[in-house]
A = this chain, B = another copy of it.
Amino acid sequence: MPRVKCPKCNKVETILKSGFIRQKQRYVCKECNYNFTLHHENRKAKHQARRNYHTTILDIAKAMGISATTVSRALHDHPDISRQTTAAIKEMAVEMDYHPNLLARSFVNRKTNTIGVIIPNLEATFFSSMLGGIQKVASQSGYRVIMCQSNEDHQTEVDNVHALMDSRVDGLLICHSMENLSYDHIKVYQDRGVPIVHFYRVLMESATSKVLANNVEGAENITQHLLDRGCRRIAIILGPNPLLITKERLSGYLNMLKKSDIAPDQKIICYTDYSQLKVIAAVDQLLELPEPPDAIFCISDRSAIYVLKHLKKRNIKVPETIAVAGFGNDLMGELVEPGLTTYDVQTSRIGETAMEIMLDQMNGGVAYQSELKTVSGELVIRESSQKPEY
């Protein structure tokens, strides 16, 4: 049971209750004949005086005439502390509006319960949606999320990594900037044992865990769907050449062509930087071909929408003359006319999965050190690829 200590002579056994004053228990020390109320009464005065004052466990301890250790343990439901003491302490904590100083706690525990996330930006819906997924799982498991944007800039990304590490995040989730040059900045920390998970954009060389959209399967699904619809000459509009995403989606496309015994034609395999200008140029080039394509598969919804608009402008019917498909299942694809066939990559799920692996890694240790997980999505068929007459 919590005991009250005399503020004057520091004795415990000598205290008697001496009635109430302003709804507060008043005590008297029979030894030194000192009248007083509980310490946190005094504290309240201080509180008024000093701005920004926070109750500490020591305040509680003093107020109850017990030690800080006991308070700390009680608040953590340590089995050593008796039920009554624990209850009394918790009650007092509420009464005194105690909030733990998480900073101090993190400092001594060497654990911040915070994970750092680096993403290229927050304007693109798929990034923010992945972040949303991460945040959701994180908060469910009691982790806070510190977030940085690299703005697709490598140096910013490097700086962010260091900043997050200096803040002692418990783990790092990172989606590389496009112009990623190396992963040295990450390797240092990885070697130190900081859990790191890559997502969406990934360097295969790194020995970290990785979460990817199922790019190959997605591209296969789209391609097969177009083939099923009767398309034989399917153009593909890709992103920048060296990117993993470009490679994977291209390989999915090639897989399905091969399966249908269609020889790939370099003339209808176009690399772009995703910009509207380059995409439209690619389309124009395709249309000028002696054998123009009967379908265009863009590996990004955004590009696909540029294509749709451009084809409409050139009075080419979609899907009758040329079918169009995208990749990603951006919200826009639903609203555009015709609705865009695409592959739903489940961005939010990617974020959730990344955070789940992070949790595994933080708990399970080395076991899951270098997992590669792909999140499968599903085909979303809309008007841009449907040929109603079949």
Contacts and interface: CB of A to CB of B under 8 A. Distances in A.
A166 B112 CA distance: 12
B166 A147 contact: no
Contact of A332 (B121, B145, B194, B335): B335
Contacts of A51: 192-193
A135 B149 contact: yes
Contacts of A335: 305, 309, 332, 335-336
Interface string A156-200: 000000110111100000000000000000000000111000000
A337 B313 CA distance: 12
B112 A122 contact: no
A364 interface: no
Q: Which of A102, A123, A147, A163 gathers the greatest number of chain B CB atoms within 10 Å?
A: A147
Interface stretch (A124-132, A219-227, A242-250, A251-259): A124-132
Interface in A61-107: 99-104, 106-107
Given A166-B100, A332-B335, A335-B335, A146 B145 contact: yes
A145 B144 contact: no
Interface in A10-53: 51-52
Contact of A121 (B102, B107, B132, B148): B132
Which bracket fits the contact residues of A? 35 or more
State the oligomeric state as a number of copies. Answer: 2
A139 interface: yes
Contact of A129 (B123, B139, B194): B123
A163 B139 CA distance: 10
Contact of A139 (B104, B145, B149, B165): B149
B136 A128 contact: no
A309 B334 CA distance: 11
Contacts of A336: 335-337
A114 interface: yes
A331 interface: yes
B102 A104 contact: no
Interface in A318-348: 331-332, 335-337, 348
A122 B135 contact: yes
A234 B236 CA distance: 45
Contact of A104 (B99, B107, B121, B125): B107
24 contacts: A51-B192, A52-B192, A101-B107, A103-B112, A107-B107, A121-B132, A122-B128, A122-B131, A122-B132, A122-B135, A123-B125, A123-B129, A125-B128, A128-B128, A128-B132, A135-B149, A136-B149, A144-B163, A145-B147, A145-B148, A146-B146, A146-B147, A335-B335, A335-B336
Interface of A: 51-52, 99-104, 106-107, 110, 112, 114, 121-123, 125, 128-129, 131-132, 135-136, 139, 144-149, 162-163, 165-168, 192-194, 305, 309, 331-332, 335-337, 348
Given A52-B193, A103-B112, 7 more contacts: A52-B192, A102-B167, A103-B168, A114-B146, A121-B132, A122-B128, A135-B149
